[in-house]
């Protein structure tokens, strides 16, 4: 009962906050609404018994990527009045794509079958702590994805520097 | 009409239980907050006093004996000061920036444990408000939130000094956040947990009694990063008075300025508590001290905890009075070129030593 | 959809967040009753060493800040991968250690590249 109430609150709050994020004219206000949005998503992870994911949500998304957004917003010095016609004019196309996406989501939801529960029950995760369970799986079973991640991060470092290199020299 | 017809007795019981729980939590929070704010008030007083004496001055002397009431006078003054919002500032963001900054550092108090749980007349009191498994990550997350307060206050003020101060400070804080996170990985390896109480327990059971001895490299990196995170001298770039006036809070006055001030001092106390819990053994003493002087066991743990925290805070005052300020390029250089590679090396060496120790059964 | 689990140990954190925010707002709102308020043009000008402000206050800034923010995100993610590794280190042992050496060495390549390209250099 209580869980459902919480979920209803989070579902509505997350949807509403997302709308606020995309409709603000001032990008800094958008970023602040997004901050609140990320906190709601983190709390949703807590209800899924995934506290480490909640911490990542706040540390990486709210503390890292959103700060990067702030830097970008300030770097480009976007003013409140600035509106680029190219993106505003693309409204009908955007709505078409959104509607198509909604249809796809509904169709995939209809064929959705819940997987059988694995060995990690709520009690087990609670006993061993979520971080421990996650670590054990990630560094044994999902070893290759983990190592590939480091390559992706390497590409990200090189990409960031190559993009800005020309600017650095001047 | 009977109340049983409206809600079932079980549900009512559950509600009452929940209400009592919430009341206990609120009581705990109020106590911790009151003690914390008192500490902040006197941290400002002792900072002025200690630095005064280091510079052969007396420090505050006028309000009360030896200036002991000075913090209250300051608080009252700031409370009644005019609150100026500069023209063309983004009013809403300008309003909430100091609140985000202060709340982000204040919330950290909820995961700091002060002692083991103890029992008084059938009541088990755990001296931590929220005993969560990811306490350490929670503190990292909230340290990241402080950046928003800094950044958006600089942006909202609509002033050049504030904007540049906010920018510099944000870049500095995020740079040192990585070094701080990596410096604590050694502690995580040795303790095998992110829960702050477990970390203290692991230290009590370890050979050295505190992680500051085997993790001396991590401890030094953490201390440097903590000073830079809280924007204190010698890393007080954003507030470099001679360059940027007062940095990101140049345009703040009255009680909003006080909120920034409060946030900074709470952050300093949190960093001192982190150093105490992760490296200095928290409220426990190493076994080699308790065995030599056995009667020391009768002193409650919280006394040791507070003494260690005060020692750390004194150290922050000391370096403020001693060291000159770094240049900005030096600040970023120290963070990226020295602290991060040394912290990574420390992680690998700690892992290697641990493996060798388990191999030879030590 | 959350099933049967309520993260009750996080309730105090939620209450603390509410109290801390209320403290901030409360202090500011109560203060308005006692505070004097006499704004005039010169007082409301942003501080610029005593002269009238010139030009756009939110100026464009060096691209280096942006690179630092990008590198921060990458290293933040890296650190996030190291934390659970440190926690399970005892359980997995030498195997985990070799994995992490590989992980860190690959990232060190990027780090050295960034250093060589003077991304950490502020002139």
- Interface contact A135-C77, CB threshold 8 A: no
Residue with tokens 């507030």: B239
For A142, other C-beta atoms within 10 Å of its C-beta total 12
Tokens representing C9?
Answer: 């140990």
**Residue B169 CA neighbour count, 13 Å, CB half:** 33
The whole-angstrom separation of Cα B191 and Cα C87 is 8
- Three-state DSSP class for residue A114: coil
**Residue A148 CA neighbour count, 13 Å, CB half:** 5
User: Which of B18, B19, B24, B25 is best to mutate for the C interface (most C CBs within 10 A)?
Assistant: B25
Domain membership flag for residue A167: yes
For A11, other C-beta atoms within 10 Å of its C-beta total 13
Q: What are the tens digits of pLDDT across the range A89-140?
A: 677 888 899 999 999 999 988 888 877 777 878 788 888 888 888 888 888 8
Determine the pLDDT at residue A80: 47
The whole-angstrom separation of Cα B345 and Cα C113 is 18
The whole-angstrom separation of Cα B141 and Cα A42 is 11
The whole-angstrom separation of Cα B341 and Cα B187 is 17
Closest residue of chain C to A142, computed from CA coordinates: C99
Interface contact A51, partner B, CB < 8 A: yes
Looking at per-residue pLDDT, the higher value among B200 and C32 belongs to B200
* Contacts B144 to A, Cβ<8 Å: 58-59, 62-64, 67
Each as own residue / partner, the long-range contacts of residues C99-102 (CB below 8 Å, 24 or more positions apart, any chain) are C99/A139, C99/A143, C99/A146, C99/A147, C100/B347, C100/B348, C100/B351, C101/B348, C102/A147, C102/A150
Q: Is the CB of residue B188 less than 8 Å from the CB of residue C80?
A: no
Tokens representing C86?
Answer: 């440190």
Q: Is the CB of residue C20 less than 8 Å from the CB of residue B102?
A: yes
The whole-angstrom separation of Cα B344 and Cα B218 is 10
Determine the pLDDT at residue B238: 64
Tokens representing B306?
Answer: 């507070």
Q: What are the tens digits of pLDDT across the range B221-234?
A: 999 999 988 888 78
Q: Average pLDDT of C79-99?
A: 87
Peptide bond into B92 cis (omega under 30): no
Interface contact B229, partner A, CB < 8 A: no
Q: What are the tens digits of pLDDT across the range B264-284?
A: 899 999 999 999 999 998 888
Domain residue limits, chain C: 8-116
Rounded to two decimals, the pTM is 0.89
Q: Is the CB of residue C66 less than 8 Å from the CB of residue A67?
A: no
Peptide bond into B234 cis (omega under 30): yes
- Three-state DSSP class for residue B118: strand
E strand or H helix that includes residue B9: helix B9-54
Domain membership flag for residue A148: yes
CB contacts < 8 A (A, C)? 147
Average pLDDT along chain A: 83
Tokens representing A29?
Answer: 């206000």
Tokens representing B198?
Answer: 């477990």
E strand or H helix that includes residue B119: strand B118-120
Q: Is the CB of residue A147 less than 8 Å from the CB of residue C102?
A: yes
Give the minimum alpha-carbon distance from B128 to chain A in angstroms, rounded to a whole number: 18
The whole-angstrom separation of Cα A31 and Cα A84 is 19
Average pLDDT along chain B: 85
* Contacts C70 to A, Cβ<8 Å: 68, 156, 160
- Interface contact A55-B138, CB threshold 8 A: yes
Q: Is the CB of residue A38 less than 8 Å from the CB of residue A57?
A: yes
Tokens representing B175?
Answer: 């740079």
- Put simply, the chain B residues between 166 and 205 with a CB less than 8 A from any chain A CB are 167, 170, 174, 177, 193-195
Q: Per-residue pLDDT for B248 more than 80?
A: no
Distances (CA, A) of A150 to A60, C66, C88: 16, 22, 19
The whole-angstrom separation of Cα C4 and Cα B352 is 42
Q: By percentage, how much of chain C surpasses pLDDT 90?
A: 20
- Give me the residue from A32, A74, A129 closest to B133, CB to CB: A129
Distances (CA, A) of B348 to A65, B218, B334, C87: 27, 12, 20, 14
Interface contact B128, partner C, CB < 8 A: no
Domain membership flag for residue A115: no
The whole-angstrom separation of Cα B18 and Cα B83 is 41
- Interface contact C118-A71, CB threshold 8 A: no
Domain membership flag for residue A157: yes
The whole-angstrom separation of Cα B140 and Cα B221 is 15
Domain membership flag for residue A78: no
For B344, other C-beta atoms within 10 Å of its C-beta total 21
Q: What are the tens digits of pLDDT across the range B116-128?
A: 877 776 667 777 8
Q: Residue A3 — pLDDT band, cuts 50, 70, 90? A: confident
Q: Which backbone phi and psi does B352 adopt, to 5 degrees?
A: -60, -45
Q: Per-residue pLDDT for C2 more than 50?
A: no
User: Which of B134, B135, B142, B149 is best to mutate for the A interface (most A CBs within 10 A)?
Assistant: B134
- Give me the residue from A35, A51, A63 closest to B134, CB to CB: A51
Give the distance, in angstroms, between the CA of residue B216 and the centroid of all CA atoms in the same chain: 20
- Three-state DSSP class for residue B214: coil
Give the minimum alpha-carbon distance from B43 to chain C in angstroms, rounded to a whole number: 20
- Interface contact A71-C102, CB threshold 8 A: no
Taking every pair of Cα atoms in chain A, the longest distance, rounded to a whole number of angstroms, is: 62
Give the minimum alpha-carbon distance from C5 to chain B in angstroms, rounded to a whole number: 15
The whole-angstrom separation of Cα B316 and Cα B310 is 10
Q: Which of A6-15, B161-170, C94-103 has the highest mean pLDDT?
A: A6-15
Q: Per-residue pLDDT for C50 more than 70?
A: no
Q: Average pLDDT of B317-335?
A: 86
- Interface contact C76-A64, CB threshold 8 A: yes
Domain membership flag for residue A149: yes
- Put simply, the chain C residues between 24 and 83 with a CB less than 8 A from any chain B CB are 24-25, 27-28, 31-32, 34-39, 41, 43-48, 53, 57-59, 61, 65, 68-69, 71-72, 75-76, 79, 82-83
Interface contact C19, partner B, CB < 8 A: yes
Q: Average pLDDT of B310-331?
A: 88
Size of chain B, expressed as the number of residues it contains? 362
The whole-angstrom separation of Cα C70 and Cα B174 is 11
- Put simply, the chain A residues between 67 and 126 with a CB less than 8 A from any chain B CB are 67, 70-71, 74
The whole-angstrom separation of Cα A14 and Cα B181 is 30
Write down the H helix ranges in chain C.
Answer: 11-34, 41-44, 63-92, 94-116
β-pair partners for B123: B120
Q: What are the tens digits of pLDDT across the range A22-46?
A: 888 788 888 899 999 999 999 998 8
* Contacts A139 to C, Cβ<8 Å: 84-85, 88, 92, 95-96, 99
β-pair partners for B125: B118
Q: What are the tens digits of pLDDT across the range A38-93?
A: 999 999 988 888 889 999 999 999 888 888 888 887 776 655 455 555 556 677 88
DSSP string for B123-185: EEE-SSS---TTHHHHHHHHHHHHHHHHHHHHHHTT-HHHHHHHHHHHHHHHHHHHHHHHHTH
Helix axes B216-229 and B340-359, enclosed angle (nearest 10): 150
Question: Domain total for chain A?
Answer: 1
Determine the pLDDT at residue B12: 82
3-class DSSP string for B19-72: HHHHHHHHHHHHHHHHHHHHHHHHHHHHHHHHHHHHCCCCCCCCCCHHHCCHHH
Domain containing residue A140: 120-170
- Interface contact A167-C80, CB threshold 8 A: no
- Give me the residue from C2, C69, C103 closest to A7, CB to CB: C2
Domain membership flag for residue A163: yes
Q: Is the CB of residue B174 less than 8 Å from the CB of residue B331?
A: no
- Give me the residue from C76, C97, C121 closest to B355, CB to CB: C97
Q: What are the tens digits of pLDDT across the range B93-109?
A: 888 889 999 999 999 99
Determine the pLDDT at residue A83: 57
Closest by Cα among B111, B36, B44 to B266 = B36
Give the minimum alpha-carbon distance from C68 to chain A in angstroms, rounded to a whole number: 9
| C8-116: CATH number | 1.20.58.1610
- Interface contact A64-B93, CB threshold 8 A: no
Closest residue of chain A to B149, computed from CA coordinates: A32
- Give me the residue from C35, C38, C97 closest to B80, CB to CB: C35
Interface contact A129, partner B, CB < 8 A: yes
Domain membership flag for residue A11: no
- Put simply, the chain B residues between 80 and 109 with a CB less than 8 A from any chain A CB are 90, 92-93, 96
Q: What are the tens digits of pLDDT across the range A127-149?
A: 888 888 888 888 888 888 888 88
């Amino acid at each position: 009962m209580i869980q459902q109430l919480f979920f209803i609150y989070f579902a509505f709050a997350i949807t509403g906050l997302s709308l606020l994020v995309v409709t603000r004219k001032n990008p800094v206000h958008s970023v602040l609404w997004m901050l609140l949005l990320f906190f709601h998503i983190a709390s949703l992870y807590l209800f899924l018994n995934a506290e480490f994911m909640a911490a990542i949500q706040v540390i990486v998304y709210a503390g890292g990527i959103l700060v990067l957004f702030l830097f970008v917003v300030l770097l480009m010095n976007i003013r409140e009045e600035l509106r680029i016609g190219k993106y505003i004019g693309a409204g009908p196309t955007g709505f078409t794509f959104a509607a198509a996406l909604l249809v796809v989501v509904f169709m995939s939801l209809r064929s959705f079958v819940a997987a059988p529960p694995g060995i990690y029950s709520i009690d087990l995760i609670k006993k061993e702590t979520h971080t421990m369970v996650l670590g054990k799986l990630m560094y044994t079973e999902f070893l290759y994805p983990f190592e590939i991640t480091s390559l992706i991060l390497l590409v990200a470092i090189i990409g960031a520097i190559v993009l800005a290199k020309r600017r650095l020299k001047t | 009409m009977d109340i049983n017809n409206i809600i079932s007795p079980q549900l009512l019981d559950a509600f009452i239980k929940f209400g009592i729980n919430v009341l206990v939590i609120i009581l705990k929070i109020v106590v911790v907050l009151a003690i914390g704010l008192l500490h902040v008030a006197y941290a400002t007083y002792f900072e002025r006093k200690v630095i005064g004496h280091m510079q052969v001055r007396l420090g505050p002397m006028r309000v009360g004996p030896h200036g002991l009431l000075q913090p209250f006078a300051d608080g009252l003054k700031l409370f009644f000061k005019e609150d100026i919002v500069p023209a063309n500032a983004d009013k809403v963001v300008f309003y909430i920036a100091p609140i985000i900054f202060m709340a982000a550092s204040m919330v950290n108090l909820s995961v700091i444990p002060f002692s083991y749980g103890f029992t008084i007349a059938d009541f088990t009191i755990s001296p931590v408000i929220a005993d969560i498994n990811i306490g350490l990550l929670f503190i990292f997350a909230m340290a990241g939130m402080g950046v928003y307060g800094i950044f958006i206050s600089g942006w909202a003020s609509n002033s050049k000094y504030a904007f540049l101060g906010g920018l510099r400070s944000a870049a500095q804080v995020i740079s040192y956040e990585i070094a701080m996170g990596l410096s604590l990985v050694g502690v995580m390896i040795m303790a095998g947990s992110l829960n702050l109480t477990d970390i203290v327990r692991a230290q009590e059971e370890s050979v050295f009694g505190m992680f500051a001895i085997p993790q001396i490299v991590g401890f030094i990196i953490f201390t440097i990063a903590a000073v830079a995170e809280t924007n204190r001298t010698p890393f007080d770039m954003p507030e470099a008075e001679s360059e940027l006036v007062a940095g990101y809070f140049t345009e703040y006055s009255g009680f909003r300025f006080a909120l920034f001030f409060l946030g900074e001092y709470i952050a300093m106390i949190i960093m001192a508590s982190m150093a105490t819990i992760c490296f200095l053994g928290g409220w426990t003493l190493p076994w080699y001290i308790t065995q030599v002087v056995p009667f020391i066991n009768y002193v409650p743990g919280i006394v040791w905890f507070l003494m260690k925290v005060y020692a750390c805070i004194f150290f922050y005052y000391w370096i403020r009075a001693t060291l000159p300020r770094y240049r900005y390029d030096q600040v970023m250089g120290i963070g990226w070129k020295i602290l991060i590679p040394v912290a990574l090396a420390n992680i690998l060496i700690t892992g290697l030593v641990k493996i060798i120790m388990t191999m030879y059964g030590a | 959809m959350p099933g049967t689990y309520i993260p009750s140990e996080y309730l105090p954190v939620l209450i603390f967040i509410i109290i801390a925010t209320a403290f901030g707002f409360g202090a500011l709102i109560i203060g308005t009753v006692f505070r004097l308020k006499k704004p005039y043009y010169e007082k409301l000008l942003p501080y610029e060493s005593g002269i009238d402000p010139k030009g756009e206050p939110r100026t464009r800034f060096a691209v280096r800040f942006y690179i630092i923010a990008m590198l921060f995100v990458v290293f933040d993610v890296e650190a996030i991968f190291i934390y659970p590794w440190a926690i399970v280190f005892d359980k997995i042992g030498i195997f985990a250690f070799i994995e992490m050496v590989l992980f860190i060495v690959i990232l060190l390549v990027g780090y050295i590249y960034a250093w060589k390209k003077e991304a950490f250099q502020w002139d």
